Structure 1
Amino acid sequence: MTHNTPLSPRPRPLHSLADGRRRPMTVAQLRAHGVSAAETNEQCRPGGPWQQLLPNVVLLHPGPPTSEERLHAVLLYAARDRGAGPASGAASGAAPAVSVSVPVQPGAEHPPVPAYAEAMITGLAALTLHGFAAAPPLPSLDVVDVLVPRMRRLRTTGCARIVRTTALPTPVELTGVPVAPVARALADAVAELTDPGTVRRLLTEAVRGGHCEPAAVVRELNRARLLSRPHVVDAVDSLVAEGRALAEQRLYRMVREHGLPEPVWNVDLRLPGGPHLGGVDAFWPEQAVALELDTRAHRKQEDDAAWAEHARKREHLERLGITVVHLTPRKLRDCPEHQAAVVRTALMAAGDREPAAYVVVLPR
């Protein structure tokens, strides 16, 4: 051997490898640690110290996996190898490895958190990780849904259920694993649920718990073509009503906490002896400023007609000299100070405009 001959990495003893890591590993990762395929097969024999949880995914201890280990096993099975081509893992049905890990702080009890490429937890498991009380605990789930790109060559097997999408959303990291955003996870969960009560509880908690706005949920349900199911439609109606009530509460709080003049709430506007102009959520008669909350459900079959009606009403009011302020529930939730400033600006600008037409204000 010359001085230029590279040294081969010294294989770690199998017992030290298992003792130092509780999470699953892929066959390729074991090979990188010097464990051959034959040694892996020997360790995974019936009654052996290791077990194969999923194709190409090995748990380095006997006995049932923990919920955390199942999550990581499913992600290892579904994640694309960062160094592989598009067809990697096609023969076995799984990408063999994940090549990047994020180190933990010194003294931490857990090993590095893997960075999983093109895979994230979704469905009921994701909702549980997001903290949904209506979602079942992880140990009670027979399968864990994992979201992957549509063209990936993977199959549902064992505890891993493959969910495909044309465009992956940006995941949220929770408990060290990538998790689909709430709206997407809800749609994937609802796709597998048939109990109306469960669907309604999950959708209601999404809005009541402040996880997301109704419009975002309905967009995902519509994209998944779930709005033709009667029990989903019924739950969406409850969801929209819940979202509307929360948005109105935020609007009342914004007016009160930011010192805006008190408007008349939830009124219909009408020309004297003339046609009905439409309803608004708040109206300041002296300044001729109307405010509307956009709490439409954004269902495709209704959206065009609803938006056309909204635009017609707004144009008619503005032709009469009435300023219309349009707010969304999300803006009220995320930046109420800015929305209050928008309303205040409209009220202050009233003195610089021509007087508006006289309108009759009626309770709605």
Structure 2
Amino acid sequence: MLIEHLREHSDLGVITATTLKSLGVSNPWRRCEPGGPWQRMHPGVVLLHNGPPTRDQQVTAALLRAGPGAVLTGAEACRRHGLPASGTEIHVLVPGFARGSGALILERASTMPASTDVTGFPVVSAERAVVDACRQLRSIDAATALVAAAVQRGRCTPESLAGEARTNRYGTKLVRAVLKELGRAESVAERDARRLSRRIRLTTPHWNVPIADADGLVIGRPDAWFDDVGLAWEIDSKAFHYGPRDYERTLARNSRYAAAGILVLQTLPSRLRDNPDAVARELKKAHRAAAARPRPPVCIVRLDHPSASGDPPRKSNR
């Protein structure tokens, strides 16, 4: 049958009008009219059925529209790298001129970036994908969440993202602001924690510093450390627990705090976001409770101390 022959020459059922004409279909657009068996995906690109296209078919159609040498970037490339990008657009880099429309962004790259095959598609590096995805965002919280996820999941480093933003500076003001902020706070939640502590005038200069007991053994690296009363504040999120080992590390960390006599307040990012006033009251109460008891014999470890980078200061929620 003709349709089977055409599918053999298509990619996931997606095919160009030029290919269809070479296979003997003189007017493919007639079959794409309302009620027809096919549908037009982009100018010159046809889907050989009239049902909803899959995401892979949409991506295939975008790349066929873009032409030879095109590569995926932005939110779609982030998702192919396993990152939780929120954008629904398909962003494609092309070596020459091309015009996108709707949810298809076709961007000419003066120098085409390297790409690798990810899930069957040519995809830019995670760094380029994150930077390009942030260029399409308007929310600093969304950009922070994406950058933090890329770093925490080991797809990028802050340095590699900063380098990509310097190389590809157009429209990167937001991601550069996020990277600057993340130099002080590693997540949206931690940034919000800093803001809340300043608002209630219960702030501390000690964020993510290693704490050691009287014997010099490093106990942990709390998100916030109130050194005057020996209070640790941890912003713990299930989003950072990817397996049993992460959960075990969190339990071990809490056990070390308890053994050292450190009072610890644990806060979920969702409560910090949705009910900051309640969190503020809890933090004030925890600070008063810590102040009412003898301060435990613990201290901040200098960054140049041999134990400062050893186990267990690695944070369990990172």
- TM superposition score normalised by structure 2: 0.55
Q: Which amino acid aligns with 1:119?
A: A
Please list, as runs of the form range in 1=range in 2, the aligned pairs for 1:164-183 lying within 5 A after superposition: 164-183=108-127
Letter of the 1:146 partner, please give it.
V
Cα 1:77–1:15 shift into 2, 3 Å: same
User: What amino acid is aligned across from residue 239 of structure 1 in structure 2?
Assistant: L
Could you tell me which residue of structure 2 aligns to residue 199 of structure 1? Answer: 143
Alignment-derived partner of residue 24 in structure 2: 35
Which one of the candidate residues 71, 81, 89 is aligned to 1:120?
71
Measure how far apart 1:240 and its partner are.
3.3
**Equivalences, count:** 198
Q: Is the 8 A contact 1:18 1:61 kept in 2?
A: no
| Superposition map of 1:213-228 within 5 A | 213-225=157-169
Partner residue of 2:15?
Answer: 25
State which of 43, 59, 71 in structure 2 corresponds to 1:71. Answer: 59
Q: Structure 1 residues 43 and 227 mapped into 2: Cα distance closer, same or farther (>3 Å)? A: closer
Q: Deviations over 1:40-93 (max 9, x none)?
A: 12222222111110111110000221101000000111122xxxxxxxxxxxxx
Look up the match of 1:185. 129
C-alpha offsets along residues 164-188 of structure 1, whole Å, 9 cap, x if unaligned?
Answer: 2221121121111111111111111
Question: Would the aligned equivalents of 2:7 and 2:13 in 1 still touch at CA under 8 Å?
Answer: no
> What displacement does 1:156 show?
1.5
Q: Distance in 2 between matches of 1:206 and 1:61?
A: 37
CA shift digits 1:96-153 (9 cap, x unpaired)? xxxxxxxxxxxxxxxxxxxxxx1111101111111113x13xxx72x3100112xx12
Distance 1:161 1:199 in 2: 19
Cα 1:18–1:29, aligned 2, differ >3 Å: closer, same or farther? closer
1:145 to 91, 96, 106: 91
Alpha-carbon offset, residue 266 of structure 1: 4.1
- Would you identify which runs of 4 or more consecutive aligned residues in structure 1 move more than 3 Å? 17-22, 226-229, 231-234, 238-243, 281-284
Native 8 Å contact 1:54 1:158 kept in 2: no
Deviation (angstroms), 1:233: 4.1
Q: How does 1:309-348 map to 2 (within 5 A)?
A: none
Aligned-partner residue type, residue 120 of structure 1:
V
Q: CA deviation at 1:17?
A: 3.2
- Quick one: distance in 1 between partners of 2:116 and 2:57? 19
In the other structure, the counterpart of 1:237 is 180
Contact between 2:165 and 2:176, CA under 8 Å: does it hold in 1? no
The normalised TM-score by structure 1 is 0.48
- Could you tell me how far apart the structure 1 residues matched to 2:39 and 2:70 are? 23
Deviation at 1:283, TM superposition (A): 6.9
Q: Which residue of 2 aligns with 1:326?
A: none
Cα gap change, 1:282 to 1:169, in 2 (>3 Å)? farther
**1:156 to 2:100 alignment:** yes
Aligned to 2:183, the other structure's residue is in SS state: helix
8 A contact 2:38–2:47 mirrored in 1: yes
Task: Point out where structure 1 has 5 or more consecutive residues left out of the alignment.
Answer: 1-12, 81-117, 253-264, 268-280, 285-291, 293-364
Mean Cα displacement is larger for which, 203-212 or 159-168? 159-168
Aligned-partner Cα distance in 2 for 1:228–1:121:
18
CA distance in 1, matches of 2:15, 2:51: 16
Superposition deviation, residue 14 in structure 1: 2.7
Q: Give the 3-state SS of the residue equivalent to 1:37 in structure 2.
A: coil
Gaps of 5+ in 2: 187-206, 211-217, 219-300, 310-318
Identify which range, 210-219 or 153-162, moves more after superposition. 153-162
Identity of aligned residues (%): 30
Cα distance in 2, alignment partners of residues 153 and 233 from structure 1: 28
